[in-house]
Amino acid sequence: MSENPKRGHFAQEKGEIILREHEFDGIQEFDQKLPNWWLFTFYAAIAWFVGYWFLYYGIAALQSPQQVVQEQILAVQAAQLKELNKTLATLDDSKLVHEWAANPTAVAAGQTTFSKNCIPCHGVDLSATQDDGTGRKSVLPGLPLTDHQWKFTNKPMGLFNLINKGSPPESTGNNGAKMEAWGQKLTPVEIAQVLSYIISKVPEDFKDIPKPAAK
């Protein structure tokens, strides 16, 4: 230090050089008055915190980003459920087989949905195999849908549920592979359409489903 700085008390004016009373291994510490802009920012931050704290926790006027996202998720889930219930109210086994799967528009829409989502595991021809280009077939993770065997249910509404909710909880999967709940990605109508497409490929499996009662 050039001058003989005062020690042991606090700086009172700007530019005053004060050294704190402690010294460790020859290292000393200035005690300067903090600039006003710094102090102002510091106090403003405290005032901001008090206001913010009050709005968040005092009267809960503000929502955390997490709460906002959670509410949006709940809203989406509620809308999905409403949509599902609306579609389910108009669906049953016989309507799926004799109206939906007999409707070329629904079947074509179902084929599009199938191509976009289901081919990687169930194959282009629904056989759950894929031609590897040399004429040999490699096996895909899904189950064949045209082998006339239905692992869980052969009832159209049961299959609707299976596609909507994915593998049942008790399923150990196909060689360990389970199917996801497509209701998260597809609308109920799209599920009914994709199922119509599957039914239209193996109508003989559903020939015992009676026609809808005449109105």
Which positions lie near ligand HEC, rule CB under 6 A? Answer: 117-118, 120-122, 141-143, 145, 149-152, 159, 162-163, 167, 171, 173-174, 177-179, 182, 194
Query: 178 Cβ partners below 8 Å, 6+ apart?
Result: 166, 167, 171
Minimum CB distance to ligand HEC, residue 132 (Å): 18
Which stretches does DSSP call E strand in 4-59? Answer: 6-7, 18-24, 27-30
- Measured between alpha carbons, how far is residue 56 from residues 49, 51, 59, 61, 73 in Å? 10, 9, 6, 6, 21
Q: Closer to ligand HEC by CB, 18 or 186: give it.
A: 186
Minimum CB distance to ligand HEC, residue 62 (Å): 41
Q: Closer to ligand HEC by CB, 19 or 181: give it.
A: 181
Minimum CB distance to ligand HEC, residue 165 (Å): 11
Q: Closer to ligand HEC by CB, 109 or 145: give it.
A: 145
Q: Closer to ligand HEC by CB, 31 or 110: give it.
A: 110
Which stretches does DSSP call E strand in the chain? Answer: 6-7, 18-24, 27-30, 129-131, 137-139
